[in-house]
Structure 1
Amino acid sequence: MDEHTPSRRTQIIRAALQRYRTHTVSGTTLRDVAQAAGIPLGNLYYYFKTRDDLVLAVLEECEQELQALLNRLAPLAPLSWLQAYFDWVLSDPEQATALGCPFGTLAGELRALGHPAADRGAQIVGHYRKAVIRQAEAAGVTSDVFLAVQGAYTVSRILDDPALFAQSIRNIRDAALSRQVQDRMH
């Protein structure tokens, strides 16, 4: 296996994450994950002894996705950071509407299920929230930006309306960034 080919364990985790995002944790069996990963069910147990072990590994993958995003944005000044963040949020309105927030939806489901990993999911969302708030405050933008974005994910998903999502995020972005620019001018 070359260095760019994900390990079997990583393939299973990514398959599980995709299934959880598209079919929910409660709507996904280990057999579904094994099938999505292209392995026999028995092989999945070699890597993950329990369903909870797999959920924890998926949360680690989510945390790595979040950290990769934050690392990519880290060199930017706060206002540029926020612009790049909004660009990332707007990168695929159809997917955002179909799946919701890539971090919050899974964490919310785990909390609703009373899953033992719910607190771990909440930690990831808390880290995400703090990063956005820190940059918003540094740019002189309201820290409500994070909650507004999460609201857009939720409502557009409920209404199954990608155009609503895109327009809402653009409105949030424009209001936040134009207010910041106006404040600097006065």
Structure 2
Amino acid sequence: METGQPSTRAQIIQAALRCYRRRAIGGTTLRDVAQEAGLRLGNLYYHVKTREELVLAVLDECERELRALLGRLAPLEPRTWLAGYFAWLLEDPAGAADAGCPFGTLAAELRALGDPAAPRAAGIVLAYQDAVATQASAAGIRSSIFLEIQGAYTVARVLGDPELFRRSVEELRDSTLGAEA
């Protein structure tokens, strides 16, 4: 394997994450994941034995994504942290309109399915909410900003409208940090 190339298992996890975010867990089969990863189904089973194992691996990846985001923002003072957070939200408004919150949508679906991994997924969302609320509070901004953003994700996804998400996040950013943000 070349240096810098993700392992086959990592490719499978990324493929599952894309499928879950695009079609939801309930609408994604292991065959779909194998196809997305460019593998035969038998090859997928060599690296991931069950759907449950794959869901847990995807949650590991979600935690890694969240830690990476929070790690990038950690050295910043609260208002700058929030500006960086808003910039991250605006990186892919089409993805937000297609898939919703990269953490919350998955957690909500796992809960709706009664999946045993639902509490773990909810823990990721709670960590995300706590981080935003902590920074907002430290900046003297309402801690409900996280819930307002989740609302923007939800409505944009329901309507399939990335422009609505972008406008909503920009308005939230400007109303909380000022137009200079």
TM-score range, shorter chain: over 0.9
- The one-letter amino acid of 2:48's match is F
For 1:146-185, list aligned pairs within 5 A.
146-178=146-178
Q: Which residue of 2 aligns with 1:86?
A: 86
CA distance in 1, matches of 2:16, 2:167: 31
CA distance in 1, matches of 2:67, 2:148: 21
Q: Which residue of 2 aligns with 1:100?
A: 100
CA distance in 1, matches of 2:35, 2:169: 36
Q: Which residue of 1 aligns with 2:125?
A: 125
Q: Secondary structure at the match of 2:12?
A: helix
Q: Secondary structure at the match of 1:141?
A: coil
Q: Which residue of 2 aligns with 1:109?
A: 109
CA distance in 1, matches of 2:132, 2:164: 22
- The one-letter amino acid of 2:25's match is V
Q: Deviations over 1:45-96 (max 9, x none)?
A: 2222210010000010011011111111111111000001001101121111
Displacement, 1:175?
1.3
Q: Which residue of 2 aligns with 1:141?
A: 141
CA distance in 1, matches of 2:85, 2:168: 15
Q: Secondary structure at the match of 1:61?
A: helix
For 1:3-152, list aligned pairs within 5 A.
3-152=3-152
Q: Any stretches of 5+ residues in structure 2 without a counterpart?
A: none
Displacement, 1:35?
1.2
Q: Any stretches of 5+ residues in structure 1 without a counterpart?
A: 182-186
CA distance in 2, matches of 1:9, 1:28: 17
TM-score by length of 2: 0.95
CA distance in 1, matches of 2:156, 2:81: 24
Structure 1 outlier segments of 4+, above 6 Å:
none
Larger Rg: 1
Identity value in percent? 61
Q: Deviations over 1:129-162 (max 9, x none)?
A: 1111111111111101100000000011112222
Q: Which residue of 2 aligns with 1:184?
A: none
